[in-house]
Every structure is written in C-alpha cells, then in structure tokens.
Copies of this chain bind each other. A is one copy, B any other.
Amino acid sequence: MLNNTVSLLSWDQETYMPEAAVDYRAEMMSFHTMRSHRLVKSKEMFHWLAAAEDDIKTKKELRNLEELRYSVDRACCIPQKLVKEESLLIPRAKASWVKARAQGDFLLFVQDLEKIIKISRQKAECWGYDQEPYDALLGTYERDVSSVQLDKMFARLKPKIEVIAQQAVTKSSSNKLQKLPGKYPVHEQQRFNESVARSIGFDYQRGRIDSTAHPFCTRLGPKDIRLTTRYDESDFTSSLFGVLHEAGHGLYEQGLPVEDFGLPSGAAVSLGIHESQSRLWENHVGRSLSFWQKWFPTACECFPALRKVQFDDFMQYIWRAKYSSIRVESDEVTYDLHILLRFKIERALINGELKVNDIDAYWNESFEKSFGFKPKNAAQGCLQDIHWSMGLFGYFATYTLGNLNAAQLFQQAIKDKTIAKEVNLAEYGGLLQWLKKEVHQHGCLLSPNRLMAQATGSKTEETAYLKHLNLRYSRGL
C-alpha cells in the first residue's frame, strides 16, 4: 500500500501536479518511502517471514518466500539514514538536472550527481558484490547477469550493430519521405492511439493514457495501470510508438495474476523482461509491414495530411535510420549504440574509474567514436536522460536486454502457425495469449533466464535480435 501510494504521488507529479507543489510532494514521498523501509526492516516482518519459511507447503510458496526474503534482505542492508538522504536528495537532483539540461550546462548538475553517485556506491557496498560495485546495482533491475557477462555480450553485439546501422543510415538518406507533411492535431492522435491500444488488448477498465514530458508506465493497484505518452503535432507516429511501447509494459502488468497482487508471484520479474514486452509491441508489432497494412488506412482517415503520402514511402519513413544525439528519438537500429555508451560510462562511474567532472568530455569523445560526430551541447549529450538524477544506475543495460528478449520471444511466438497467420493480418489476440502464458502469468516465480529458456529454448542471446535487425534494415524486409 505504501509503495503504491508513492507510485500515485509520483504519477501525479509527472502528469498533473501544479509546479509550486514540488517541495511538499517530495516530503510526502519521502514520508511514505521511509515508512515502507521501516516496516520491511521491522521485527514483525522478521518474525512473519521466519514463521512462513517454517511452514512452506507448495513450490509457489517457496518461490514467493525466496523472493520476499531477497527483497527484505536487500532492504535491511540499507541504513534508514541513507534511505532518507536519498529520498530527499532525488527531487532536488531532478530539479537541478531539469535546470542544467534547459541551460545545456552540465556544471549545474555536477554537485547533485556527485551526491547521488556517492549514495549509489554506498548502497553497492551495503549490498555487496562478487566482482565490482556496479554488479550490486544491476541486481536491482536484473538478477541473472553480471557486469562482465553484459560487457562480453555487448562487445559481441557492437560491431555487428554498427555494420547494420551504417547500411541502414546510408539507405535512409535517400528516402523520398524525410518528414511527414502537414499537421496532426493532438486530440486526433489521442483518438487514433486509443483505437490501436484497445486493438492490441490494453484494457481501459483497468488503465488509462495521459500525457507527460517523458513517457512511462506505472501500476497503482492490481487493476490500475497508467501509461503516458507525448505528442508532436508534426508527426503522429511519435506519440503512437510511445503508446505502443508503454502499452507493452501495461499489457505485462495487466497480465500478471491479479489475485497475487502484492506478492512476488504477482509482480514483474525484471526490467529486461519488462522491456522485452514494450519493445515487442513497439518494434516487432508496431513497426511491421502487416501492422501498417491494417492501420495506414485508418490513420489516413484520422489525419487528412497523411493522405498525400504513398504507403511504400511511409514504410521507409517508419524504418528510417539516422545517427542522432538523443536516445529517445533514435531509431531501432542505432538505439543500442546509445545504451552501450551509457553502460560503459555508468559502470566506470560506479566502479570509481571515471570522475563526475570528466563525464561531459568522456561522453562526447566516446559518442563521436560510435556516431561520427559530437553532440552540440551537454543537453544533447550527457544531460539528456533523467535516469541518473533519480539514482537509477544499472538500469540502462536492461533496455538492450529487452531488445534481445523481445526478438527471441517474438520469433518463438510466430513459430505457432495460427499466431503467425493472425499477426500477418495485424490481429494480436493469439500473440497476447502466448505472452500471458509464457511471460506474464509467471510473475517473479521464474527467473529471467528460466523464463526465457522455458519460453524459447535458450536464455537471453543476441541471435534472434541480430536476425531481426538484419532482415528489416539490411535486407529491407
């Protein structure tokens, strides 16, 4: 209840809260966060858990208790003082990040970022790790991988993605349609997005879509899933892909067993699996030919400006690739290059190999090596993402894990002939049922690797993803 209260306070802050309310909101969030932490660390919790562990009757109870024990043990490692310090620092750090980004001045963010990294390193020490501090932070989001494993996997991926990206960028530069013509009014986008979201199975009785600066998905209760997107009146696909991405998260949350809400068996297992659901609906579904064969005519009805556009040109526009400085605006094929950069930098920061003062220069230099140019300023560079201001170190890598998992799951799902046939007609009922059965319904009962192995025959690998990128971006299928 306390954690869901914090989620509502946070959702409201991002969507509707008046500007001047921010200080008191930070106090309220800290108040509930502290109490939640205090309860988890309480003697009662200790006794309840011990008593339950002495009385395990089913495999499900065993797994639930293992996961609860893991969370409780992790919470118990962190002193109350540190929780308080962090919960009060983050709203301030977020504010200084917003200011620094608006002015493109990294120096305005340096002090708070240093404090956040210090707290993150302290937390890593509290939790402990085998090889390096960054491992401990990764464990918050993804427990089945170590930094070294990720590093090796990313090292294998990088040159292959660079080749595909290079070809795709060159090909896109000669696209007939470089920009959509005309204007796409927000309320028409909302209508169109709602039709799409409903058609892939998002349940509006148990959810809604609002508008925010940064799209996200959050769960405020067993039957209360909130998505957000943002609108660009010159391009309706921007808000649509936001909705498809967040609805992917939302379908996962809506697919978790409602009766297990509050238990590990009723919660999402990891960010790498969560992101697989969002990327699957955004890219494998939403950027597919068959999806647009169905939805392009409807889009033309909603948006008169689109009627001038040829379908083939539109698809090339959807599949365009371009080296750009901003991660969230980047295309499917260059996306992971952004992630790989962040993984390298934040790992070095947490492991004490890079100083906060050197981030800006190091970012620009590394970015140039991958993308061939330097960001215009820090707002287009190391200040672009909100994550660090919120203390979310270890989070970025899960985006690429999500891409790998998405491809692997999707390719497995369409091995079923009925699902494949439906997907070709842009009908996704069977696909959603398959995802519910293989992913959603397990909650945390299967670890990410077990889940992937059970669903697809192997744990997370890069093969399926590279095959997908190659088909769509090298061979243009």
| Chain B minimum-CB-distance residue to A204 | B18
B18 and A223 contacting across the interface, CB-CB below 8 Å: yes
Q: Could you tell me if A18 and B210 are in contact, using CB atoms closer than 8 angstroms?
A: no
Q: Which residue of B lies closest to A1 (CB)?
A: B31
Whether B210 pairs with A21 at a CB distance below 8 angstroms is no
Q: Closest residue of chain B to A24, judged by CB?
A: B221
* Interface assignment of A375: CB less than 8 Å from any CB of chain B: no
Instruction: Give every chain B residue within 8 A of A95 (Cβ-Cβ).
Output: none
Nearest-Cβ distance from residue A153 to partner chain B, whole angstroms: 39
A206 touches B18 (CB 8 A): yes
Give CA–CA (A20, B203) in the complex, Å: 10
Give the contacts of A178-226 with B (CB-CB under 8 A).
203-208, 210, 220-225
A232 to chain B, nearest CB (A): 19
Contact A221 B28 (CB under 8 A): yes
Chain A, interface size: which category?
20 to 34
Is residue A301 within 8 Å, beta carbon to beta carbon, of the partner chain?
Answer: no
Given the complex, which residues of B lie within 8 Å of A9, measured CB to CB?
5, 8
Q: Is A55 an interface residue (CB 8 A)?
A: no
Contact of A220 among B21, B207, B210 (CB under 8 A): B21
Question: In chain B, what residue has the closest Cβ to A32?
Answer: B5
Contacts A8-B9, A27-B1, A221-B28 given; indicate if A20 touches B206 (C-beta within 8 A): yes
Q: Is A4 an interface residue (CB 8 A)?
A: yes
Interface core residue of A1, A27, A203, A206 (most chain B CB under 10 Å): A1
Contact bitstring A421-444, B, C-beta under 8 A = 1, else 0: 000000000000000000000000
- Between A and B, 30 residue pairs with Cβ closer than 8 Å are A1-B27, A1-B28, A1-B31, A1-B32, A4-B28, A5-B5, A5-B9, A5-B28, A5-B32, A8-B8, A8-B9, A8-B12, A12-B12, A16-B16, A16-B208, A17-B224, A18-B204, A18-B205, A18-B207, A18-B208, A18-B225, A20-B205, A20-B206, A20-B224, A21-B221, A21-B223, A23-B223, A24-B221, A25-B221, A28-B221
Task: Check: A19 CB closer than 8 A to any chain B CB.
Answer: yes
Within 8 A of B (CB), among A386-400: none
Tell me, in angstroms, the Cα distance from A16 to B261 when the chains sit together.
21
Interface centre among A8, A20, A28, A222 (most CB of B within 10 A): A20
Question: B24 contacts A222, CB within 8 Å?
Answer: yes
Task: Return chain B residues, CB-CB under 8 Å to A5.
Answer: 5, 9, 28, 32
Once the chains are docked, how many angstroms separate the CA of A23 from the CA of B224? 11
* C-alpha spacing A8/B19, complex, angstroms: 16
Asked if B1 and A206 sit within 8 Å, CB to CB, the answer is no
Name the 6 nearest CB pairs between A and B, nearest first: A21-B224, A24-B221, A20-B223, A20-B206, A20-B205, A1-B31
Residue of B nearest to A19 (CB): B205
Return the chain B residue nearest A261 by Cβ. B24
What 0/1 pattern do residues 219 to 248 of A give for CB contact below 8 A with B?
Answer: 011111100000000000000000000000
A210 CA to B210 CA in the complex, in Å? 13
A23 to B220 CA separation, bound complex (whole angstroms): 12
A206's nearest neighbour on chain B, judged by CB, is B20
Contact yes or no, B21 A206, CB < 8 A: yes
Task: Look across to chain B and name the residue whose beta carbon is closest to the beta carbon of A223.
Answer: B20
| Minimum distance in angstroms from A202 CB to a CB of chain B | 11
CA distance A25 to B222 in the complex (A): 10
- A186–B225 CA distance with the chains assembled, in angstroms: 27
Residues of B within 8 A of A32 (CB): 1, 5
Minimal beta-carbon separation of A229 from chain B (angstroms): 15
**Which of B25, B206, B210, B221 contacts A16, CB < 8 Å?**
B210
CA distance A210 to B16 in the complex (A): 9
Instruction: For residue A14, give the distance in angstroms from its CB to the closest CB of chain B.
Output: 13
A10 CB to nearest B CB, Å: 11
17 extra A-B contacts, CB within 8 A, seeds A4-B28, A18-B206, A20-B205 = A1-B32, A5-B28, A16-B208, A16-B210, A18-B204, A18-B205, A18-B223, A20-B206, A20-B223, A20-B224, A21-B206, A21-B220, A21-B221, A21-B224, A24-B261, A25-B221, A25-B224
Q: Please, which residue of chain B has its CB at the minimum distance from the CB of A208? A: B18
Taking CB atoms, residues of chain B closer than 8 Å to A210 are 16
